[in-house]
Amino acid sequence: MHERYSLKTARVARKPKIYFMNYLKFVIPLLSTILIISCTKNDLTIGALEGSKNSQFFETKILNENVEQLEIPIQPDFQTRLPSFHAITFHILQREYAHKFANGETTLFEGEYLERRLIELYPEKAFEGMYDQAKAEMAINIANYEEYLSKLRLYEVSNCMEPSIKDEEIYRPFTTLNDEINYLQMTEDEIEEFNRYEALATSENPITRIQLESLLNLRSGVIVYAAIGTAAAITGYSVWRVYQSRNRAESKASSFFPGLTDAGKIGDAFRHIYVSVLLRNYLTIVGAWAVMGTYEIVNPNDHARDTYMDYHNNAVGRYYEYWTFRGSYWGDYGDWEEWAENAMEWVDDLNNGVYMDWQFSDPDADTAEYEEDEVDDYKYIYYKL
């Protein structure tokens, strides 16, 4: 990906860190209020921000800068050279660990167990030291993205712009099976599948590759991968949410837009918008950015037009129109069916979309990136009728 100055949403990302998001929720809005009140002044300075010990950006960046001199922040690119595996594989192995060492009598950390089992199952791509590399890689990615979010918020408020990041969802970790079922408001079919995987994880004999591949082949074309780094960052066995969110988006797209889910059509746009809404709700903004970024890396498009359409529409669902679809914070809390209806109605109104002349032109990456960047952030993209 080419680096560029833009207010576009960061393309791919890392896993949410609760300390960072909670810090932003209270400190940045306060700073924003000060900046908004003073946004017409040319001599306003920004004092040093003190953050948590893990948020080095607050300790070293944006010290006494003149607001007029703030630049549009550069979006960081998510970087990974590590292998990816099906999300269900991660989920089952994480649950294996939870059951096998439920009494806590082990010196083996979850990450070490996960790495060992992946090497057993996929020796052709998993390797020793992979998990530690993943954690280090994700730490860098998260720090880069935290810096970007902070600079973006400061830039927007200093220029009296509508903030693209408003209220943030609070990450709720996995606790018990019943709590997860209730929190995600699972359907009967989802509960049945959830329990089926749980039974495999509690089996006396650890799951084999043949069993896994047989299980995954039963899925109707929905392939959901997660990077090892994403799995390392998503704690509390929440990889299931990645898998479920993708399934829900696929199902709703087919139901709402039959015959219109091919690449470039409005059903495709809906699918990316809606899955980004779900992921932000369940994993916060950073988690949604990380998961969809992984998806684009693992499932690269053959055409640049599809890549930049996906990038744009992911951002619409994750950032710019998120609360349009999410609705009332408490009134629509957890109501993913209602969120789907809201997104469907919005996408179905073509006034909210921008038709791109890409179907026959098939632009190269630079052209597609430039033309996508010219589109209003608050409108979705499609290029096939």
Q: What is the pLDDT of residues 282-340, one digit of tens each?
A: 988 888 888 888 788 878 899 999 999 999 999 999 988 999 999 888 878 899 999 99
Give the per-residue pLDDT at 42.
37
pLDDT tops 80 at residue 61: no
Interior angle at CA 156, CA 153 and CA 162, nearest 5: 105
Give the per-residue pLDDT at 370.
95
pLDDT tops 60 at residue 269: yes
CA nearest neighbour of 45 among 33, 53, 35: 35
Average pLDDT on 351-357 reads 98
41-50, 158-167, 358-367 — which one is most confidently predicted on average?
358-367
Give the per-residue pLDDT at 31.
38
Give the per-residue pLDDT at 236.
53
Give the per-residue pLDDT at 295.
83
Tokens coding 157 = 């408020």
> Which tens digits make up the pLDDT trace of 118-173?
999 999 999 999 988 988 888 888 888 888 888 888 888 888 877 666 667 788 88
Give the per-residue pLDDT at 63.
40
> Which tens digits make up the pLDDT trace of 203-255?
989 999 999 988 887 665 455 666 666 666 665 568 899 999 999 999 999 99
How many angstroms separate the CA atoms of 337 and 349, rounded? 19
Interior angle at CA 230, CA 28 and CA 62, nearest 5: 25
Asked if residue 231 lies in contact with residue 247, where contact means CB atoms within 8 angstroms, the answer is no
How many angstroms separate the CA atoms of 212 and 228, rounded? 17
More confident residue, 229 or 384: 384
Give the per-residue pLDDT at 359.
94
The DSSP symbol for 302 reads: S
CA nearest neighbour of 21 among 219, 235, 286, 380: 286
Asked if residue 278 lies in contact with residue 249, where contact means CB atoms within 8 angstroms, the answer is yes
pLDDT tops 50 at residue 4: no
Domain ranges of the chain: 18-78+133-158
The DSSP symbol for 68 reads: G
Asked if residue 365 lies in contact with residue 304, where contact means CB atoms within 8 angstroms, the answer is yes
DSSP string across 310-335: HHHHHHIIIIITHHHHH--TTTTTT-
Residue 35's pLDDT band (boundaries 50, 70, 90)? very low
Q: What is the rounded (10 degree) CA torsion for 312, 277, 148, 369?
A: -10
Asked if residue 381 lies in contact with residue 312, where contact means CB atoms within 8 angstroms, the answer is yes
Average pLDDT on 27-46 reads 37
